[in-house]
Amino acid sequence: MKHKIAPSILSADFANLERDVVMINNSNADYIHVDVMDGVFVPNISLGLPIVKAINKVAQKPLDVHLMIVKPENYIVEFKNAGASILTVHFEASTHLHRTVFAIKENGMKAGVALNPHTPIYLLKDIIKDIDLVCLMSVNPGFGGQKFIENTYSKVAELKEMITIQNSNAMIEIDGGVTFDNYKKLINGGADVLVAGNTVFASSNPLETINLLKKQ
């Protein structure tokens, strides 16, 4: 399967949000990655439901919404109504993850589960068949533009093996510090979706950067 690219809107110019969403529409990107942070689960506050709705008004690509919030189960219907296609909750924030995953799917969205860098892959053993996407955090969540954590490569390999053994359809998404130095190794290791914030939006030609990240 050809890998997918999900530019992260966190690195966009929020004063020119429409312009940046239109740029993604016109690009070869597959999803728009939207980072929602509550200042409790992570030490930063980014954007919430009204902004997701505003992005969705302009977006022509599916919204891949990454919730970095406590009690994500309380906002499933709201994010569906705001336009999310994929809704990802953190393993560390979800006491009743199985219930939350099924509630996301019952609301017609793909269900994603994100793991912080310290959270081991084996904890997904009893849920991997039920989820559509695993988001491996390759930085500590909260901020764009951080350095890639190298231990992610071995997590990709372990996750890929679990997915194969259990015949799961889950996609592997890598979030944080994706650059031209590591994207090929990640794809070759089994990553299906690469999130890219700083690499896309800090470049002088974001459209061309997305093209290059789509190359095998």
User: What residues are annotated to the active site?
Assistant: 35, 175
DSSP element (H, E) containing 146: none
Applying CB under 6 A, does 117 fall inside the site for ligand DX5? no
3-state secondary structure of 197: coil
CB atoms within 10 A of CB 126: 11
5-43 burial: b if 16+ Cβ within 10 Å, else e: bbbbbbbbeeeebeebbebbeebebbbbbbbbbbeebbe
Cα 140 to Cα 147: distance, rounded to the nearest angstrom: 9
Q: Which of 66, 80, 110, 155 binds ligand DX5 (CB under 6 A)?
A: 66
Both tokens of 75, joined, read 């906002």
197 binds, among ligand DX5, Zn ion, none (CB under 5 to 8 A by kind): ligand DX5
Applying CB under 6 A, does 186 fall inside the site for ligand DX5? no
Q: Which of 146, 160, 203, 212 binds ligand DX5 (CB under 6 A)?
A: 146
Q: Which of 62, 72, 83, 141 binds ligand DX5 (CB under 6 A)?
A: 141
Q: What is the DSSP letter of 212?
A: H
Stretch that binds ligand DX5, among 20-28, 51-59, 144-152, 206-214 (CB under 6 A): 144-152
Q: Return the closest-CA partner of residue 109 out of 68, 74, 64.
A: 64
177 binds, among ligand DX5, Zn ion, none (CB under 5 to 8 A by kind): ligand DX5
Q: Which of 175, 199, 201, 210 binds Zn ion (CB under 5 A)?
A: 175
Q: What is the DSSP letter of 2?
A: -
CA 84 and chain centroid, separation: 12
Q: Which of 86, 109, 195, 213 binds ligand DX5 (CB under 6 A)?
A: 195
Cα 110 to Cα 84: distance, rounded to the nearest angstrom: 9
Stretch that binds Zn ion, among 42-50, 97-105, 173-181, 203-211 (CB under 5 A): 173-181
Q: Which residue is nearest to Zn ion (CB)?
A: 66
3-state secondary structure of 206: helix
Residue number with CB closer to ligand DX5 (61 or 129): 61
The residues of the shown chain that bind ligand DX5, judged by CB under 6 A, are 8, 10-11, 33, 35, 66, 139, 141-146, 175-178, 195-199
